Chain A
Amino acid sequence: MSEPTAGMRFLNGILPENPTYRQLLGMCPTLAVTNSMQSALTMVAATGFTLICANVMISLMRRLLKPHLRILVFTLTIATFVTIADRLLSAFLYDASKALGPYIPLIVVNCIIISRCEVCSSKQGPWIAFADGVGQTLGFALGLASIATVREIFGSGTWFGLQVLPDAWPKLGILVLPPGAFLTMGLLLAVVAFVSQRARKETR
């Protein structure tokens, strides 16, 4: 099978190789910051910035990588871009950066980024690496937004901070807390698996 093209990398990241529902990577921020849409999308922006920049930079250096030192190089690069993202958030979106707290520095250990470096950018050119980064970011956005929508609407009655459910509607407080994150994630994962199984049966 020939190497994936930029277009294939981009499209794969959105649904077929979705980082949240298919690869199940980056679970920590997924569960931690999805109690509101605002936090979820800020996390996607910071992670996406890091992923795309790290992918392109690693791709430009790919011929210089030594196999036994490549993880070091990946980590150095990723940590740098996470620090830049953290500073940019503190400078331009101060309230959002406070809401996310320690989860921004934790992007360094987000497995999505290092796995894309290993699978794609250390082996293919910058344009393909860029497309891969954008595709995976969109997939991550889909994953986080779907979970955050459920948790925020049914947990706090709001969406992006705007009231969407009438006051009389009971709020399931547990959805805003960590157990609710696991519950929502598990249920949505089951739904996605069910739907894609049905789709696969129909194409046969």
Chain B
Amino acid sequence: MSDSESFEHRPEGHPLAQAKLVLFLGVFLAVALAGVDLGLRERIVANKTAETYSEIPRLVPGADAQRTEALQVWVAGKTQRIYKAFSATGEHLGFVLPTSGSGFSDRIELLIGLDAQGQTLTGLYVLDQKETPGLGDHIKEAQFQARFAGAQTPLTAVKGDSKNHNEIKAIVGATVSSQSVCDIVNRAVSGLDLSTLTEATHE
């Protein structure tokens, strides 16, 4: 079938009938993808957890990853995982709170290092992001994440140098990505209710 023939093709029948294949594929492939996701979800979560544990000593300085306790807590009305960080001698140093939210392009997954009161940040780590390469994706660099040590919510991303603990110097050319990270941190820390800390009910 030559190209000129296909340009002159006049589709007959109702548009929905013509699109039978597209509609069927849409449903079938969506179900197939859900199945794949279900099958692989456990492994992916295990990978992310392993990464979390390996980052804990950097997020809460002095913490011993082996002594971390995985607990549950209420954040903004929903139960989620939180990690309690201890030093090698058993002293409670702080918490590591996983959270996520929308960035400029897609979801950003974060680990927030907090002090023992859950008020001041001790560190930040980006678990997953799909921001613009070369601009927003600088949030994955240690240089940006180091700006969050000692910071306090509510955080704002500012264009110049940060003047106090509530300001974070934004990445040049990536204001939205920088502010998105601040917003995600703000929402998580303000919604955190440490009085609801309980044993983890599932791994």
Please list the residues of chain A having a beta carbon within 8 angstroms of any beta carbon in chain B. 32, 61, 64-69, 72-73, 76-77, 80, 83-84, 87-88, 90-92, 94, 98, 101-103, 105, 178
Contact = CB atoms under 8 A, between A and B. Distances in A.
A105 B25 contact: no
B18 A77 contact: no
Contact of A72 (B22, B129, B137): B22
B33 A92 contact: no
A69 B18 contact: yes
A84 B33 contact: yes
Given A32-B133, A90-B40, A105-B130, 6 more contacts: A84-B33, A84-B36, A91-B47, A92-B43, A102-B137, A178-B134
Q: Pick the 10 closest A-B CB pairs, nearest first.
A: A91-B43, A94-B47, A67-B6, A91-B40, A80-B29, A102-B130, A90-B44, A87-B40, A64-B21, A67-B9
A36 B84 CA distance: 37
B32 A76 contact: no
B21 A66 contact: yes
Contacts of A61: 21
Contacts of A102: 105, 130-131, 133, 137
B33 A90 contact: no
B33 A80 contact: yes
Contacts of A32: 133
Nearest to B128: A98
Contact of A80 (B32, B105, B129): B32
A152 B96 CA distance: 36
Interface in B36-93: 36-37, 40, 43-44, 47, 51
Interface of B: 6, 9, 11, 18-19, 21-22, 25-26, 29, 32-33, 36-37, 40, 43-44, 47, 51, 105, 128-131, 133-134, 137
Contacts of B36: 83-84, 87
A94 B137 CA distance: 18
Given A102-B130, A102-B133, A91 B44 contact: yes
Nearest to A97: B47
Contacts of A88: 40
A73 B130 contact: no
Q: Which of A61, A73, A83, A102 has the most CB of B within 10 A?
A: A102
A77 B33 CA distance: 11
Contact of B21 (A67, A73, A90, A103): A73
A178 B134 CA distance: 10
Contact of A101 (B22, B32, B47, B137): B137
Nearest to A123: B1
A69 B37 CA distance: 28
